[in-house]
Amino acid sequence: MAEVIEVFLAFLRFGVLSFGGGMANLPEMARVIIGNGWVTGQQFADGFALGQFVPGPNMLAVLFYGLSAAGVPGALAALLGMFLPGALGAMWLVKGWAWMARARWSRALRKALVPISMGLSASMVLVLVQLGVDGLGWFALLAAATLLIYRGVNVVWVIGGGAALGLLAALLPLR
C-alpha cells in the first residue's frame, strides 16, 4: 500500500506541474520513474511510445508506469494522480475564464509562458532522443526523418517508413 501511495504522490506532482500537457515535464518524470527503478530507460521510452499510439490523452503511458511500479492499484494511482490536477484546473478555468481574459496579468503571464514551454518542449525532445537513440544508425534515421518532414513529406509516410525500418531493425538489429 505504501508503494501505491508513493506512486500516487509522484504522479500527483507531475500532474500539478504539467502546464501545457504532461510531456512538458517528461524529463523529470523519466528521472523519477527510472530513478525509483519502476522501469528501465528502454521501458520508459517504449511506454511513452505506446501512450502516444493509443487513442486518448497523450500521457496514457502513466498507466504503464504505474502498473510497472505497483500493479493494477499503482496504475490507477498514477492515472488519478496525473489527471486529477488538470481536470480540477480545467473546471476552475472555465468558471473564471471571462475574468482572466480581461486581466492584464493574465495576458502577461501567457506571453511569459511561451519561452518556458519552448524550453520544456526542447528538454522533452532531448530526453526522448537520449532514451530512444542509442546508436549512430538510429541517429541517422532520426536526422533523415526530421529532414523529410522539414522538406514537406507527409508525416504519415515518414511514420510508416519509420515503422517499416523499426520492424526491419527488430529482425536485423542496427546496434
User: DSSP readout, 58-86?
Assistant: TTTHHHHHHHHHHHHHHHHHHHHHHHHHH
Residue of higher predicted confidence among 50 and 81: 81
Predicted local distance difference test score (pLDDT) of residue 175: 52
Please write the tens of the pLDDT for every residue from 13-52: 999 988 667 777 888 999 999 999 999 998 999 898 888 8
Asked if residue 76 has pLDDT above 90, the reply is: yes
Answer for the pair 74, 7: CB distance below 8 angstroms, yes or no.
Answer: yes
Amino acid at 37: G
Q: Label residue 30 exposed, middle or buried (CB < 10 Å: 0-12, 13-18, 19+).
A: buried
Predicted local distance difference test score (pLDDT) of residue 167: 86
Predicted local distance difference test score (pLDDT) of residue 118: 85
Please write the tens of the pLDDT for every residue from 84-138: 998 898 888 888 887 877 888 888 888 888 888 888 888 888 888 888 777 888 8
Amino acid at 14: F
Q: What is the DSSP letter of 1?
A: -
Measured between alpha carbons, how far is 153 from 151 in angstroms, rounded to an integer?
6
- Of 153, 124, 128, which Cα lies nearest the Cα of 142? 128
pLDDT mean across residues, the chain: 87
